[in-house]
Structure formats: C-alpha cells, structure tokens
Homo-oligomer: A and B are copies of this chain.
C-alpha cells in the first residue's frame, strides 16, 4: 500500500448562498484546491465527491458526471460516495484508497451540498435516519439527538449549560474563520434562551442549514514535495457502521461507530488520543460535540460535560476541538463537512490558520459521522 499525502485544500464560504448553484459551488471548490496544490486540472487522474442528497435537494443524481462535465474534466473517472453527513469523510477515504492502491496518482476528493433550493430541507435530512422505523413515524434529527442528550444528562449529570458551552466555544472560534457561516460570539444565556427545537436542544444547539463545498487533493506521499513544501500526510483512514435506527443501540449515550473507527485509526497510525494535537469533530448538535470527545477517547465516558466546562476543548485547552467553528458555526453543508474538516486540519498543520492557529500543531484528526452514528469516518494526519 502506498502512503498518501494531501497537497492542496479548499473551502467555499459556507452559508445561505442564494446566488450560487450546486454546480457553481463544486466548481469553485475544485478550482481553489487545484490552485492550492500548484497543479493544473489536467493533472487530476480521478475524482470522488461526497454528497448526501442532490437528488432530493436539487433534483440531480449522477453528480459525478455533472461535475466532471461542468468543470471541463471529462473523461476523468468520477464517483459520488454517500453515507449521509459522513459522505465527505468517505470521499476522502475512497480517494486515499485510489492513490494507495496505485490505480490513480493525483486524486481530488471533494464534498458539496446545496440545501437552500428547497422550501423545507427537513424531509431530505430525515432520509439519513431509518425511513421505516424512524422518519415515517415523525422523528427528525433534532428529536433523535435530544433523546441522546436527555439520557446523557440523566446518566452522567451533564448539565444544560455544559451542552450550551459546545456552541459557545464553536462560535468563539468561528469569529476567526472568514469562511464560516456564523462568525459571531454567543453566550450560554443566548443558547438557553433561543427558540426551543426539541427539548433540551434549542436553536443555538443545532447546526444550521448550509450551502457549500470543499476539496482536498491527494497524491502518493513520495511525490508530495514536488508540489508543495508543506505536505500533510495521511496516517490513518478508518470507517465503521452502526445501526441506523437509534432504538437498536445498546446505549444511546455513546456512538459505537465512532469508537470502532477511532480505535482502528489509532491502531493504523500507531498512536493514542494523547498524540493528537487538535481535532475537528462532528457536532451537528451540541450533544454530539460532547459525545465525540468521549467516544474518541479524549476523556472518560460521562466526563465530556465537565471537560468542556473546564475549557479543555478551547483553542488553548488540552485538546483543541473545532478551531474552524465546527458544524455549529462554520456551517454544515452535509456532504461537504467531512472535506472541510480535513481542509481545516491541513491549514492548521501547515501553520496557515491565521488568528485561529493552534500553536505547534503537528498531528490532527477529523471525525465525521452520518445520521445519529450509522456511519463514522476518522482520519489522522500529520505534518
């Protein structure tokens, strides 16, 4: 297996981008990544695109062909990969395999979602849950995560304020991210007093509806220095599935797929949580930011709340989490998120993250999940 490196990354602004279409967004991310990697479009050998549901959001399947065509890259092989909100993480992983196997040399793994072209995105988002046993019964994602939050509060004494702190810290970080959807500070009081969505989660516990795209360019590690002085190396790429329906879990205060994928990733990289300098976690709801640091092994089960309250996950804390602003404040265009996480880690490891830079960052991790944890993808990267 060949080692793989990242030589270029990109992200569009995330937000409600009324003036940009699906194809505009992905072309912009692609061109910026190509520029960042100091290559030409013709150098690309293959493309993977993470996208959850262009079919339901913009009436378009077969986006691989659309994107190759609209970007002027035909006859490049291009595949869409999908695992709900983990689609980006899977696009990254399959791009890595394409290079590692020797099938292709220079591969772009991208992610895109255009969510604001429908009046109500909720029915499309709900297709990431079990259609027959969850969605058709009226369950939506805020309510599923609300149940997980309630149970975590009961089992471990997690407080409402600790949950709110996940959002507060994300917004604190997003202020320094020019590509973030919501680069403004909020307070615990604001979170607690924002409109109720699914008790105990209020509006400011929830990631927004976003449009956006991101890209990562991969090549064999041995060639990386031809293109850049600051390659970032893939140390591990792991993925696991979990039950799609929440009621089938042994425990709803933990996401087993995160545990499986991260343990496999630590094993591949020969590392432990202590080796990780910063992590981008999948905090689609505040409770998920808290579960992530537990399930990734940064704190003991049940200790996520106190750890967050004590500032462990702040930029100057023991394990900086989501310096980008995370899904909550950077935004969450579903299929793009896993790739945007990788872009942030690359910027951090290169020392190019500006005011949100984590000093001395050498090893970073991304954690991308689909649904309530039916899929998890974990990557470890090093300078």
**A residues bordering B, Cβ < 8 Å?**
1, 21, 52-53, 55-56, 58-66, 68-69, 73-84, 90, 93-94, 97-98, 100-103, 123-124, 127-132, 135-136, 237-245, 248, 256-257, 260-261, 370-371, 374-375
Contact A257 B127 (CB under 8 A): no
Contact A62 B374 (CB under 8 A): yes
Q: How far is the CA of A63 from the CA of B83 in the complex (A)?
A: 7
Contact B64 A245 (CB under 8 A): no
Q: Given A65-B371, A374-B69, answer yes or no on A83-B79 (Cβ-Cβ < 8 Å).
A: yes
Q: How far is the CA of A65 from the CA of B83 in the complex (A)?
A: 7
Q: How far is the CA of A55 from the CA of B136 in the complex (A)?
A: 14
Contact A59 B241 (CB under 8 A): no
Contact B103 A68 (CB under 8 A): no
Contact A375 B64 (CB under 8 A): yes
Q: How far is the CA of A134 from the CA of B375 in the complex (A)?
A: 34
Contact A65 B77 (CB under 8 A): no
Contact B375 A74 (CB under 8 A): no
* Residues of B contacting A136 in the complex (Cβ-Cβ under 8 angstroms): 59
Nearest residue (CB) in B for A130 is: B66
Q: How far is the CA of A136 from the CA of B59 in the complex (A)?
A: 9
Q: How far is the CA of A129 from the CA of B135 in the complex (A)?
A: 29
Contact A248 B79 (CB under 8 A): no
* Residues of B contacting A64 in the complex (Cβ-Cβ under 8 angstroms): 82-83, 241, 370, 374-375
CB distance from A377 to the nearest CB of B (A): 8
Q: How far is the CA of A243 from the CA of B23 in the complex (A)?
A: 14
CB distance from A12 to the nearest CB of B (A): 19
Q: How far is the CA of A84 from the CA of B78 in the complex (A)?
A: 12
Identical chains in the assembly: 2
Contact B257 A75 (CB under 8 A): yes
Listed by A's residue number, 23 A-B pairs whose Cβ atoms lie within 8 Å are A1-B103, A52-B61, A53-B61, A58-B131, A59-B123, A59-B127, A59-B135, A60-B127, A61-B84, A62-B84, A62-B371, A64-B374, A64-B375, A65-B371, A65-B375, A69-B244, A76-B240, A77-B238, A79-B81, A79-B82, A79-B239, A97-B103, A100-B102
Contact B374 A242 (CB under 8 A): no
Contact B370 A62 (CB under 8 A): yes
Q: How far is the CA of A67 from the CA of B127 in the complex (A)?
A: 14
* Residues of B contacting A257 in the complex (Cβ-Cβ under 8 angstroms): 74-75
* Residues of B contacting A74 in the complex (Cβ-Cβ under 8 angstroms): 240-243, 256-257
Contact B1 A102 (CB under 8 A): yes
Q: How far is the CA of A378 from the CA of B66 in the complex (A)?
A: 20
4 residue pairs, one from A and one from B, having the closest CB atoms: A65-B374, A101-B101, A68-B241, A77-B239
Q: Given A240-B75, A245-B69, answer yes or no on A62-B127 (Cβ-Cβ < 8 Å).
A: yes
Nearest residue (CB) in B for A334 is: B61
CB distance from A97 to the nearest CB of B (A): 5
CB distance from A5 to the nearest CB of B (A): 15
Contact B97 A101 (CB under 8 A): yes
Which of B73, B82, B128, B239 lies in contact with A82, CB distance below 8 A?
B82
* Residues of B contacting A58 in the complex (Cβ-Cβ under 8 angstroms): 131
Which of B52, B101, B244 lies in contact with A66, CB distance below 8 A?
B244
* Residues of B contacting A370 in the complex (Cβ-Cβ under 8 angstroms): 62, 64-65
* Residues of B contacting A81 in the complex (Cβ-Cβ under 8 angstroms): 79-82, 94
Contact A101 B1 (CB under 8 A): yes
Q: A75-B260, A76-B240, A78-B83 are in contact. List 15 more A-B contacts (CB 8 A).
A: A55-B56, A59-B127, A61-B128, A64-B370, A65-B374, A69-B244, A69-B248, A74-B257, A75-B242, A75-B256, A75-B261, A79-B94, A81-B81, A97-B97, A101-B101
